[in-house]
Structure 1
Amino acid sequence: MKTLSPSRLYKACVLKDLDFTSTLSLEPLNEIVGQDRAREAVRFALAMPHGGYNLYAVGRNGLGKRTMMLRYLKAHGESGRRVSDWCYVANYLEPRNPRVLELPAGLAATLKQDMDHLAGRLVKVIPQAFDNDTYEERAETLKQDYGRRQEKALDKVAAAAKAEGVDLSMSTPGGYRLTAMEDGKAHTADSFDALPEKQREAFEAAIERLEKQLRNTLRRIADWEQTHAEKQQALSEETVSGVTAHLIQAMAEQYKAYPAVVEHLHAMEKDIVENLDIFLEDNEDQAAFAYASLDRKIPRRYQVNVLVSREDASVPVVVEENPTYHNLFGYVENVTYKGTVFTDFSLIRPGSLHRANGGYLLMDADKVLEQHYLWDALKRAMRGRDIRINSLERELTLSGTISLEPGPIPLDVKIVLLGDRHTWLLLQEYDPEFAELFRVTADFENEMDRTPASQQLYAKFIASLCQEKQLLPCDRKAVARVIEFSARLAEHQDRLSLHAADITNLLRESDYWARESQSKRIEAEHINRALTSAEYRSSRIRDELYRGFSDGSLLLSVSGKAPGQVNGLSVLATGGFEFGLPNRISATC
C-alpha cells in the first residue's frame, strides 16, 4: 500500500487548458454533452421511418434527459415529416360517427372561418328567400290547386249522397260521417229505428254504397296530398338551391384541391334542404344548447370542429406532463340542458397524441405506467397506428349511455419515454410487446472522461446552461471551479459528472451570490460561497455528531495500540449530503 501525498488528493483544473475569458465568448452547446452513445441511438430512432422504432431514454433522474432530448429535437427534428391539421365535421348519414378531415398545416382555421361565414350568410338569406311574394304566390297556387281538387271530389260524393237522402258531414278533422235525412233533418237512432223495415234497408244500402265511394275518394285525396307535399318540397328545394347553390359552389371551387372538403360541402347542401326548419324556425333549444356549450348561435351541424391547427409546417414536439387517458387520447364533452345530457361532434376535444401527430411526444415512463389502462391503450394505438377517441368508461364497459364514435385519425408519431433503468428492466422482463414497440434504447451516461478537450466541451455546456437559464456569465476561474466540483460529484479525479441538475443548481445559487455582490459575472468566489452555503444548510446532523468528539461525550483513541481494535472512517448520507465519521472497529471472539 502506497501513501498518498496531499497534492494527489485533489486535481485542480489548469487554467491554461481553458482558452477563454468568459462563457460569453463560448458558443452554447446544442449537442448532448458526453452522450455519444445516447446521441447515436436518438439519431437512429428519429431517422427510422418504420413502425416500432420508438425511443426509451434510460438514465438517472437529474441527468437532463428531457432537456437534452428537446435541444436535440430542436436542432435535428426537422426530418421531412409531414404534419397536418385535423378537423371533425358532421356525418349527415351517420350522426354518431363524425367524419375526420385532414388538411395541410395552417388550413383548418381558414376552413372553419369560411364555414362559419357561409353558415352565417345562409342563416340570413334562406329565411329571406321564403319570405317574398314570388315564393308565397307559388306556394299558394299549389295549395289552392290541391284544395280545389279535394273540394270537387267531396262535393261529388255529397251530391250523390243528397240524391239518396243522405247527408255528408265532417265529424272530426279528416273524418266524415254519412247520416240518413228526412225533410232536411237528420234521423236520430230512435227515429231511424221507427222507419219501416223496407225504408231502413234502402237507407242502409245507399249508405254502404256511399261509404265505398267516399273511401275511394279519400284515397285519391291522400294521393293528391302526397303529390302536393312533393310539389311543395320541390318548390322548397328549388327556392333553397336558388340562394345556396352558388354560395356552396363558390366555396367548393375554393377548396377543389381537397376532395374530402368538397364532398362534405355537397353533403351539407343536401342536408340543408332536408332540415330547413333549422333556418326557418326560432329553435330555443338549439340556442340554449349553444349557450351552454359556450358557442355562437350558428347551426352546429354546419360548423367545423378544429381538433389540431398548426401555424406552419414545423414538426411538433410535445411534452405531456400529466399523461392521463383523456389527456393523451382526447375526449368528448357533454352539455346538460333541462336535465338531459347532449353531445355532438363539435364537443370533441384533442389529446397529446393529436397535437404531436407527425412529430414527437415525450412522456415520463413512470407517470404513464401509474395510470390505469393507459399503457394498454397506448400500445393498442401504436400497433394499429391510429387514434380512436373513446371514453374510458366505455372502454371499461361501465356506462351504457349512447355516445359518439368519431372516425379514427392515422397516427404517425415518435414516442420518447423517459425513465430509469429499473423501470426499463421491468418492462423488458414482463411486457413482451415493449421490445417490439420501443426497439431503440438511449442509454445516458452518468459520467465522462476528464481531458483538456472534454473540459473545453464542458465549459460550452456550462455556457449553454447560463444562457438557457438566463444566468450571469461565468469567468474562466468560475468554470474551472465548476469542473472541479463536477469531478468531486463523479468521485474520480479523471471523470466529470453529467448530472445536469446538480450543475444547474450550483450555477443558479452562484448567480444569486454574484447578483448579491453586484457583480456582472459569476466568479470563483461566488461558486465557493454557493458550495459553502449549501453545505452549511445541510450539515446540522454532521455538526451535532462532531460536537460529541469536541465536548468529550464521544471518545476515540488515535495513539497507542489495542488488541482487536482499529479506527475506521464511515461515510454517512443525510438528504443528499455526505460526510465522514470516525468509528472504532472491534473484533471479539
Structure 2
Amino acid sequence: MSSSFFQERAFDWNELQPQLAVTEQPIHPLNFWALQPNAKNALALFLRNPNRPLMVLKADDQAEYAALLMSLIRQIQPKERTIFGVNYLVEQGDSFSFPHIEIEPAQSLADNFAASGEVLSALYCDQFQLFGNVKMHPRSQDIQLTPGLIHRANGGVLILSAATLLAQFDLWQRLKYILQSRRFDWHSSHPFKALPCEIPSYPLETKVIVLGNRTELATLGELEEDLYSFADYAEIESYLSVADVNEQENWAGFVREVAQELRLSLDFSAFNKLYQLLVRESESRFLISASPAKLKNMLLNAATLGQKNRLIADDFEQVFQQQTAQYGFLKEQTYADILNEQVYVATEGEIVGQINGLSVIEYPGTPVAFGEPSRISCIVQFGDGEVVDVERKNELAGNLHSKGMMIAQACLSNILDLPSQLPFSASLVFEQSYGEIDGDSASLAIFCVLVSALADLPLPQHIAITGAIDQFGLVHAVGGVNDKIEGFFSICQRRGLTGKQGVIIPATTIQQLSLSDEVVEAVKHGEFFIFPVEDIYQTCELIFQRDLLEEEGFYDESKTPIARLIQHRIESRSEPPKKGLLDFFRF
C-alpha cells in the first residue's frame, strides 16, 4: 500500500486536536453559578418555598461545591438578621428533686439556642454535632444543653453529605422526622438510658441540602423509598457544554475568574491547550469538566512547574508531559515487554488470521490508564459452526466481550448470506492476555480476523484497529480512543516509524480526539495515519485492498471480492474429502 493511498483515507492532522472557536476578544470573568443555571434556579426556588425543607443535590466535588453553595445561598437569602430559636432555662436539681427545664422564645443571639438563619456546612458529623447533646456533670449532676448544627442553622440552611447519612443511617431517620414535623424533640443518646429530666421540644425551621454523587444518592433512594416525595432534586452538572462559541466564551470567562482568584493570568493560547487537555478527560469536544477543583489543580500545577504567574500553552504541555512520566512506570514496563518480545506484537508484515486490536489497560489502586495493542488470532476449521471464544471459555472475559463476539459472528453470517449454522468452526484468542477483558470495542477487529482466516487473506500488522459493530455492519464509537491510538503509536515509534503504520477507528470518534503533540506531528509529516471508517465495507477495503461483497459489473481478477473467496473455500470443502491423513490437518 502506497503512502498516497493512506493519505487519501486518513484524517488530516488538523482534525486530531480540538480548537476553540473563541477569538482573541477580551474574556470577562464569569462565576461558577453562571454556568449552572439549572442548579441555581432550583436552589432559589427551594429557598423560597416554605413547604420544602429538604433538597437532594447531586454533586461530585462536595468540599468545593459546599463552599460555593454557602456563598450563593448568602447572596439569595434576605440580609436582615432575624432571631430564631429559644432560650432554655435550666433549674438544676438536688438530692431531693429532679432538674427542671423551661423554655422561652429567644430574645437575643446570646440565648443558648438562638440562631440567626446561618448557612452552615458539615460534610462529616456525628449525632452530637448534628443534634446537640445533654451533658451531665459527673459529681454535681448539673445539666448542660449543647446546641447542634440543626439548632444553629434554625431559620437558615444546613449542608450535609449523603455519605455521612449512609454511614450513620440512624442520623437520617431522626433528621427526616425533624424536617417533616418541623419540631425538635430531645432523645437520649443511650438506648437503655432515659434523659435525666423532661426537656421541652420547640419548632425548628431548618432547610437541609444533602450533597452526594450519583452512587451515594442512588443508595439513599433505595433505603428511603419516599425520598423524592418530600425532597427537591437538582444537579450540579459534572460537565459543561462547549458546543458553540457563546458556551466556549462562558467557559473561558469561568477559567479567567478562577485564575484571578489564584492571582494568575493566562495567555490566549493557554485557554486552547487547557481545553484540549480537558477534552482528553471527558472524551468529548462538546463537554468538558465543570469541576473547579480540577481546574484549580491544573492552573496551580502549571504555575508551580513554570514558576510564573503568566501562563502560556507550553506550561500546560509541560505539566501533561510531567504527569505522563510520573504515572508512566506501569505503562513503560508493559511497553518494554512488547519491545523485548516478551509479549509478541507484530508491527510489520502481513499474517493470515492475526490482527492488532486496541485496548485500554487500567490498574486498580492507581490513576493509570493507557492504551496497549492486543494481538487477536483466529484459526478456522470447517466443522459444526461453533466459534470458540477462548477467553470466555476460560472465564477471562466479561459479558460485553461475549456480546461483541456474537455480534461479529452474526454480522458475518448475515452479510455473506451463510446458512444459520455456519459451515466452519473457529477459535478466537486474545494472545498472551492473562487478565480479565471486557467491552465490545474489539468486535470490529474480531470480524476482520474471522474474515481473514476464512478467506485466507493476510492482514497488515502495521495497522491496529478498534471499533464496535452492529449486526448490519455499521461501526460505532468506543471509549479511550486517545489512549488506544497513542499506545500503538508509542510501540511503532520506538521500533521506528515506516510511514505505513496507523490505526483504524470509528469515524464517529472524531469528537473524542485530542491527541498528544507527538502523534499530531507524526501524522503531519506522513509518518503515522489515523483512518476513520463508518462500516465494515470501508474497513475491509482499507485493510484487504478489495471489496467485501461483489458489486455489479466486472471486477479485477486480482481483486476478487472477499465474499466470493470465502464462498469458494466453503464449496471446495463441502465436497467429500479425498485426502490422506497428513492433508487432513491442513486448512
| Band the TM-score falls in, shorter-chain normalisation | 0.5 to 0.7
Question: Is the Cα–Cα contact under 8 Å of residues 362 and 415 in structure 1 kept in the other structure?
Answer: yes
What is the CA-CA distance between 1:47 and the residue it aligns to? 1.9
Closer/same/farther in 2, CA of residues 342 and 86 from structure 1, 3 Å limit: same
1:115-152 CA-to-partner distances (Å, cap 9, x unmatched) read: xxxxxxxxxxxxxxxxxxxxxxxxxxxxxxxxxxxxxx
Task: After TM superposition, list the pairs within 5 Å mapping 1:410-421 onto structure 2.
Answer: 410-421=203-214
Find out whether 1:333 has 2:336 as its counterpart.
Answer: no
From 325, 348, 373, give the equivalent of 2:145.
348
Question: Is the Cα–Cα contact under 8 Å of residues 360 and 370 in structure 2 kept in the other structure?
Answer: yes
Closer/same/farther in 2, CA of residues 62 and 82 from structure 1, 3 Å limit: closer
In structure 1, C-alpha distance between the alignment counterparts of 2:173 and 2:211, rounded to whole Å: 18
What is the CA-CA distance between 1:384 and the residue it aligns to? 1.4
From 408, 415, 437, give the equivalent of 2:230.
437
Find out whether 1:307 has 2:113 as its counterpart.
Answer: yes
In structure 2, C-alpha distance between the alignment counterparts of 1:360 and 1:541, rounded to whole Å: 47
From 78, 100, 108, give the equivalent of 2:103.
100
In structure 2, C-alpha distance between the alignment counterparts of 1:464 and 1:67, rounded to whole Å: 16
Amino acid aligned to 1:422: T
- Number of the residue aligned with 1:58: 58
- Number of the residue aligned with 1:581: 372
- Number of the residue aligned with 1:6: 13
Find out whether 1:386 has 2:393 as its counterpart.
Answer: no
- Number of the residue aligned with 1:512: 304
Question: Is the Cα–Cα contact under 8 Å of residues 59 and 419 in structure 1 kept in the other structure?
Answer: yes
What is the CA-CA distance between 1:372 and the residue it aligns to? 4.5
What is the CA-CA distance between 1:4 and the residue it aligns to? 2.4
In structure 1, C-alpha distance between the alignment counterparts of 2:290 and 2:63, rounded to whole Å: 6
- Number of the residue aligned with 2:277: 485
Closer/same/farther in 2, CA of residues 57 and 548 from structure 1, 3 Å limit: same
1:427-485 CA-to-partner distances (Å, cap 9, x unmatched) read: 334423422331333363434233221222112222332344x3423332223322222
What is the CA-CA distance between 1:536 and the residue it aligns to? 1.7
Closer/same/farther in 2, CA of residues 389 and 473 from structure 1, 3 Å limit: farther
Instruction: Report SS of the residue matched to 1:17.
Output: coil
What is the CA-CA distance between 1:53 and the residue it aligns to? 4.7
- Number of the residue aligned with 2:25: 19
Instruction: Report SS of the residue matched to 1:375.
Output: helix
- Number of the residue aligned with 1:324: 126
Closer/same/farther in 2, CA of residues 53 and 445 from structure 1, 3 Å limit: farther
From 155, 168, 176, give the equivalent of 1:371.
168
Amino acid aligned to 1:442: E
Find out whether 1:534 has 2:534 as its counterpart.
Answer: no
Closer/same/farther in 2, CA of residues 510 and 102 from structure 1, 3 Å limit: farther
- Number of the residue aligned with 1:425: 218
Closer/same/farther in 2, CA of residues 420 and 309 from structure 1, 3 Å limit: closer
Q: Which moved more, 1:326-335 or 1:93-102?
A: 93-102
Task: After TM superposition, list the pairs within 5 Å mapping 1:26-425 onto structure 2.
Answer: 26-29=28-31, 31-33=33-35, 35-50=36-51, 52-61=52-61, 64-78=64-78, 82-84=82-84, 86-90=86-90, 96-103=99-106, 107-109=108-110, 306-308=112-114, 315-337=117-139, 342-344=141-143, 347-393=144-190, 396=191, 398-399=192-193, 403-425=196-218
In structure 2, C-alpha distance between the alignment counterparts of 1:558 and 1:82, rounded to whole Å: 75
Closer/same/farther in 2, CA of residues 403 and 495 from structure 1, 3 Å limit: same
In structure 2, C-alpha distance between the alignment counterparts of 1:385 and 1:98, rounded to whole Å: 21
What is the CA-CA distance between 1:370 and the residue it aligns to? 0.7
CA RMSD between the two structures: 2.9
TM-score normalised by L of structure 2: 0.57
What is the CA-CA distance between 1:85 and the residue it aligns to? 5.6
Amino acid aligned to 1:88: Y
Closer/same/farther in 2, CA of residues 569 and 333 from structure 1, 3 Å limit: same
Amino acid aligned to 1:31: W
- Number of the residue aligned with 1:494: 286
Question: Is the Cα–Cα contact under 8 Å of residues 357 and 373 in structure 2 kept in the other structure?
Answer: yes
Closer/same/farther in 2, CA of residues 371 and 474 from structure 1, 3 Å limit: same
Amino acid aligned to 1:354: H
Higher Cα Rg, which structure: 1
In structure 2, C-alpha distance between the alignment counterparts of 1:442 and 1:413, rounded to whole Å: 21
Question: Is the Cα–Cα contact under 8 Å of residues 121 and 160 in structure 2 kept in the other structure?
Answer: yes
Identity fraction in percent: 20
Structure 1: runs of 5 or more not aligned: 110-304
Aligned residues: 368
In structure 1, C-alpha distance between the alignment counterparts of 2:41 and 2:169, rounded to whole Å: 33
In structure 1, C-alpha distance between the alignment counterparts of 2:109 and 2:73, rounded to whole Å: 26
Instruction: Report SS of the residue matched to 1:373.
Output: helix
Instruction: Report SS of the residue matched to 2:274.
Output: helix
Question: Is the Cα–Cα contact under 8 Å of residues 319 and 361 in structure 1 kept in the other structure?
Answer: yes
Instruction: Report SS of the residue matched to 1:108.
Output: coil
In structure 2, C-alpha distance between the alignment counterparts of 1:437 and 1:79, rounded to whole Å: 28
What is the CA-CA distance between 1:382 and the residue it aligns to? 1.0
Find out whether 1:465 has 2:258 as its counterpart.
Answer: yes
Question: Is the Cα–Cα contact under 8 Å of residues 106 and 114 in structure 2 kept in the other structure?
Answer: no
What is the CA-CA distance between 1:56 and the residue it aligns to? 0.6
RCO comparison, higher one (Cα < 8 Å, 6+): 1
In structure 2, C-alpha distance between the alignment counterparts of 1:342 and 1:81, rounded to whole Å: 36
What is the CA-CA distance between 1:404 and the residue it aligns to? 3.6
What is the CA-CA distance between 1:540 and the residue it aligns to? 0.9
Structure 2: runs of 5 or more not aligned: 1-7, 380-425, 427-587
Find out whether 1:550 has 2:552 as its counterpart.
Answer: no
Which structure: greater helix fraction? 1
